[in-house]
Structure formats: structure tokens, C-alpha cells
């Protein structure tokens, strides 16, 4: 199996173990184990190495994806039917393939083997058996003792990602462990094949393109390995995502092919949030964005943020309508913020959100709503129902036209505002319940931009 060792990178030890346990690909009945366990973390090449080994071997084999089977009955049915199909023999017409239980599966398997005189060694691979919908503990024990109760020349190969440690410690079945790749091994594997290509209009030799790809893979792995680990599948997706914006300055002629360091510095922002976090927001259209929130809920969230990150003693400075308070806010408000040395060192936005009372939230909501809205909150008819009159906030239009408490409760259910205190699970209007804003500054800034509000003028810095 030298070809397997050379073709599957960084898995020479595992390939040699498979070669030893499965008799080097020779159809020798005497050395075939009744079962074999292949286990290790996900994305470590277990199935790929096994597939490559079976392709080069002379064994007939059946590969079953266990995670696609909802119940154990469906799994047994697929095992039996795939086994019959891969054997190349004709089953008897009266063969029962319902597999209502493992006993019936074993009887049908024996009946087919006797009828077709099928005695060749056969490998049944149960891939990802730990991801079955139903617990696979019973199946593992039953398949492990199949050779004791059935004369079928069958070797069952279990492929696990997270097996029960007791299974490995107490079972006499041989096993092959696939450890996680090291960072250097990930670079070596991903550098062998250029999965991303330069656009057709960009002229570059194959050698230069491959050298650029190797540098690109190494710099990406070094940059994101702390977040992704050595998960090859995840790193490969990030490589494909960053590729187009990363080489855009190169294609436009801004940089040359040999100026890789300058190109990396220019696209340094691509190796942070763009590579990981932004994809989570863009790939789900239903994700909660500022533009998807109703107008009044935006004001409520902004008011909650101001109540959480401003001290209550400054409310009169920011939200009072008295002339002297407005004058202090315009000319002397910033001086108050400079009195504290701690405030000068740490912005309030960097601190944890403080809880506040519901009454304070409503007071701030009324203040910012009246000052920042155009005053035409709702159009209603007069007492006689003949003419239309504009109602402003001064007459209580905000409270009378929308259910503020209902919208606050909705925001709480979305975890945009959270309840604190002893009455967390009680009534929203209970005296012991306090609220706290659960969104960050970037989200609030997006809300303020949508409604055209200068929210920074209300924040204590």
C-alpha cells in the first residue's frame, strides 16, 4: 500500500495501520478482523483515507452514510440492500428486506449468503455512525458480535467522530486513531492544489500562480488558525471567500505579483471580521438587521441604550426641555464629562450596560422621540369625524397610538433588551424588574442612521 501512503498526505501511519489490519488489500479470509474502529475529530481525513484504501484494495465494500438514516430500521435496510447490490449476486425472490429488527437483518443476510454462495470477504463501512438519529450503542454491540452469530464473511468498519471512550477501552476490536492536523500539515495539504483561480484577463504563469497560492494559503492559515483551529473544510471555505477581494488590487494593477507583503497589508481587514463574522450575517437573510425593526422599536432600543450607558444624574442635562438645561447641554455639557479622570480614560461604551427602571426608559423615549421626530406622529380625525388634524407627542400620541409595553415585551423576547433583578420571570411592570440593553454600539449607530438621529449627542463620554 505504498501508493496509499504517498497519495494521502500526512496520514502515512494511519494508512499503514489499515494495511496491517486489513491484510494489505489481499483477500485473505484468515486475517480479516470481524470489525474495525476508525475514530478521531471531524475534518481529519478518516473517510477520505479509508475510501482511497478501499479503491486500491481487492475487497468488495459497501459504504453507508449513517447520518442520512432517520431510524435504525432504515439504517439496517440500507445496509442489507447496499450489501446485496455491491456483492453482484442475485438475491432470492422471497428475501425479506424489511429489517424490523437486527435479528431479522441477520437472518436475511445469512439467507442471501447461502442462496448466492457468496463467501468473498466484504467490508461494510458505517460512516459517521455516531451521528445517527437514534443512539448507536446497541448497533455497535450487535454489529461487533455479528461474526459470532452469522457465517457471513463480513468485516464491519465503524467510522466515528466522537466515540464513547468506554467503547474503546473495553472493546477488543482494533482501532485506528486520526489525530488533528498540525498547522504545518494544513498548509501542506491545502498548498498541493490551487482551488481558486485568477480571472482569465489576468496574465500569469502557472509557476508564479502556484507560488502565489502557497504564500496565500500560509498567510491565511497563520492569520485565522487561532479562531478556526486546523479544520481543513472551514479553512478551505475561508480561502475561497477571501480570494476574490484579496487579489482585486493585483488584478487592477495596483500591485505586482511579487509584492505579496504590500498586498497583504492592503487587504489586512479581510482576515478579521470579513472572513468569519460577516458571513454569519450575510448568509442568513432572516437575520435581525436594523432595517428590519419597526420605527418605534428603533426609538425604544436607542432609549434603552442611552439609559444603560448614561448615568441617571445626567438625564436632565441631555433630555430636559428647560431653557437653562438646554443651555448647559449646548455650552457646558461637555465640561461635566471631563471632571472624572476615569471617564477620560475609558469611554462609557466600553463598559458593561447598567440596568434601569421602566419609568426611566419611557421618559427618555418621550424626550428623544419628540425632539428627533418631525412632529407628525399620527393623522387622526376631529371629534366630528369631518376633518383631519395632526396630533403631536405633547398630547400623548406616542402612548395612545402604539402599545409601547407590547413592543418592549417583543424586544425582550428577542433578547435585544433583557430583564434583570429578582423579578426576571415575573410581570414586566413589577417594581422589582429592571431592564438592560443587550445590543452594542454598532447596532445602535445603525438604528440612529436609519431614522436620521444624532445619537452621539446624547451619550456621556
Domain ranges of the chain: 2-177, 183-282, 290-458
pTM: 0.60
Contact 187/221 with Cβ under 8 angstroms? yes
Cα–Cα distance for residue pair 248/373, rounded to 1 Å: 43
Q: Does domain 2-177 have CATH number 3.40.605.10?
A: no
Q: Give the integer Cα–Cα distance in Å for 132 and 158.
A: 12
Q: How far apart are the first and last CA of the chain?
A: 69
pLDDT in tens, the chain (461 residues): 555 556 789 999 999 999 888 875 454 445 678 899 999 999 999 999 999 999 988 889 999 999 888 889 999 999 999 999 999 998 888 898 889 999 999 999 999 999 999 988 899 999 999 888 888 878 888 898 898 888 898 999 999 887 776 766 677 889 999 999 999 999 999 999 999 999 988 888 999 999 999 999 999 999 888 888 889 998 999 999 999 999 999 999 999 999 999 999 999 888 876 666 544 444 444 445 556 788 888 999 999 999 998 888 888 888 776 544 454 554 444 444 445 444 445 666 667 888 998 888 888 888 888 777 654 433 333 444 444 444 444 444 454 445 788 888 889 988 899 988 655 555 555 556 789 999 888 889 888 888 888 888 888 76
115 burial level (CB within 10 Å; 0-12, 13-18, 19+):
middle
Distance CA 171, CA 39 (A): 14
Amino acid at each position: 500500500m505504498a501508493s496509499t501512503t504517498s497519495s494521502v498526505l500526512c496520514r502515512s501511519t494511519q494508512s499503514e495501520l489499515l494495511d496491517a489490519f486489513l491484510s494489505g488489500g489481499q483477500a485473505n479470509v484468515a486475517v480479516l478482523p470481524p470489525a474495525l474502529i476508525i475514530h478521531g475529530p471531524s475534518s481529519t481525513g478518516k473517510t477520505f483515507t479509508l475510501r482511497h484504501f478501499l479503491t486500491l484494495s481487492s475487497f468488495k465494500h459497501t459504504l453507508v452514510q449513517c447520518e442520512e438514516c432517520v431510524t435504525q430500521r432504515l439504517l439496517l435496510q440500507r445496509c442489507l440492500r447496499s450489501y446485496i447490490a455491491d456483492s453482484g449476486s442475485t438475491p432470492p425472490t422471497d428475501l425479506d428486506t424489511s429489517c424490523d429488527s437486527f435479528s431479522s437483518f441477520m437472518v436475511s443476510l445469512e439467507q442471501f449468503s447461502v442462496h448466492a454462495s457468496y463467501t468473498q470477504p466484504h467490508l461494510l463501512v458505517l460512516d459517521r455512525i455516531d451521528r445517527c438519529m437514534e443512539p448507536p450503542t446497541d448497533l455497535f454491540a450487535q454489529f461487533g458480535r455479528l461474526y459470532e452469530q452469522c457465517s457471513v464473511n463480513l468485516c464491519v468498519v465503524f467510522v466515528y467522530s466522537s466515540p464513547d471512550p468506554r467503547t474503546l477501552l473495553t472493546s477488543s476490536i482494533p482501532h485506528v486513531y486520526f489525530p488533528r492536523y498540525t498547522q504545518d500539515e494544513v498548509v501542506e495539504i491545502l498548498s498541493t492544489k490551487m482551488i481558486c483561480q485568477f480571472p482569465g484577463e489576468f496574465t500569469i504563469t502557472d509557476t508564479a500562480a502556484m507560488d502565489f497560492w502557497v504564500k496565500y494559503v500560509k498567510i491565511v492559515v497563520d492569520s485565522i488558525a487561532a479562531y478556526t483551529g486546523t479544520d481543513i473544510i472551514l479553512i478551505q471555505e475561508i480561502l475561497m471567500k477571501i480570494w476574490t477581494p484579496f487579489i482585486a488590487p493585483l488584478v487592477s494593477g495596483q500591485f505586482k505579483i511579487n509584492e505579496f507583503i504590500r498586498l497583504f497589508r492592503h487587504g489586512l481587514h479581510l482576515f478579521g471580521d470579513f472572513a468569519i463574522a460577516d458571513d454569519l450575517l450575510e448568509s442568513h437573510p432572516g437575520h435581525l438587521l436594523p432595517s428590519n425593526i419597526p420605527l418605534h422599536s428603533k426609538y425604544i432600543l436607542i432609549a434603552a441604550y442611552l439609559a444603560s450607558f448614561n448615568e441617571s444624574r445626567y438625564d436632565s442635562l441631555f433630555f430636559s426641555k428647560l431653557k437653562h438645561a438646554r443651555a448647559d447641554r449646548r455650552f457646558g455639557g461637555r465640561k461635566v464629562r471631563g471632571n472624572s479622570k476615569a471617564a477620560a480614560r475609558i469611554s462609557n461604551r466600553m463598559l458593561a450596560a447598567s440596568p434601569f427602571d421602566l419609568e426611566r426608559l419611557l421618559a427618555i423615549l418621550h424626550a428623544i422621540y419628540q425632539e428627533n421626530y418631525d412632529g407628525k406622529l399620527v393623522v387622526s380625525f376631529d371629534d366630528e369625524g369631518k376633518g383631519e388634524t395632526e396630533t403631536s407627542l405633547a398630547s400623548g400620541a406616542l402612548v395612545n397610538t402604539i402599545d409601547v409595553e407590547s413592543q418592549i415585551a417583543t424586544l425582550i423576547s428577542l433578547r435585544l433588551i433583557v430583564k434583570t433583578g429578582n423579578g426576571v420571570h415575573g410581570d414586566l411592570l413589577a417594581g422589582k424588574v429592571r431592564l438592560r440593553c443587550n445590543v452594542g454600539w454598532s447596532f445602535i449607530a445603525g438604528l440612529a442612521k436609519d431614522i436620521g438621529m444624532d445619537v452621539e449627542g446624547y451619550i456621556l463620554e
